[in-house]
Amino acid sequence: MASLISHLTQAQQKELMNDLNYLNMQEIKTFCRHHGLPLHIHAEYKKNVLQKTKELDRKGVVLDRVRQYLKTGKVPPPSVIPNKMIAQNLPKEIRPETHFLFGLYKNRDANSLKVLKQVTKGQFQFGALAQELSRELWVQGKKITFSAFGKLWLKENMNPSREHPEWAFLTDLSTGSVGRDWKSLRQQKAKKVMAELKRISAATKRS
């Protein structure tokens, strides 16, 4: 299947892609379910066997998938955590040289926090960045230690090399373009995008 948005002009396509950032997760989920786009992260608990986890992909990841789908008409595969990144047996104690694996680290986990505080001179905090980094490492299959993760977190925290256009509110906030009417602005944009997506739904069902 070809692009689902070829009837739009280049400028309109670009606007649509950009305004997807203004959708909230609920709206995105609805669209994904309609079209069978994967929302959950899958894990390879056993070699070559994929299992859906309870973990939901982060907004940026899901949006990328939506964009790809709109452009190509193909349903992209889900995120997968490879077998080697999954903790098979949990160590009693986490140390700086312990490998940073799925199932071992969790946000707000006291043991993880202790070690990460230790290797970052007390600066580490659980938050969106920690979540983002950990997911990325797991899915990409980069096996590193807690110590290395802490350093990576520090680096990203000091000078963020990545942008988060999908966090529309925070992005607008940092550019100072948030006014009293931001909420209605978001709804306006979201409504427009949803209307366009709905048209696509109808078109794909006909074919």
Q: List the interface residues with DNA, window 88-147 (CB under 7 A).
A: 106-108, 125-129, 131, 135
Shortest Å, Cβ 2 to DNA: 29
Give me the phi and psi of 181, to 5 degrees please: -100, 20
Residue 50 CB-half CA count within 13 A: 11
Which segment (77-85, 96-104, 142-150, 178-186) binds DNA by CB under 7 A? Answer: 178-186
Which segment (51-59, 78-86, 89-97, 144-152) binds DNA by CB under 7 A? Answer: 51-59
Q: Count H helices and E strands in the chain, helices first.
A: 8, 3
Query: Could you give the CA distance from residue 118 to residue 18 in angstroms, rounded to a whole number?
Result: 40
Dihedral over Cα of 146, 96, 157, 106: its sign: positive
One residue of 16, 20, 59, 98 binding DNA per CB under 7 A:
59
Shortest Å, Cβ 167 to DNA: 5
Residue 196 CB-half CA count within 13 A: 20
- Read off the amino acid at residue 162: R
**Nearer residue to DNA within complex by CB, 3 or 24:** 24
Q: How many residues bind DNA (CB under 7 A)?
A: 34
Binding site for DNA (CB under 7 A): 23-26, 29, 33, 52, 54-56, 58-60, 106-108, 125-129, 131, 135, 166-170, 173-174, 176, 182-183, 186
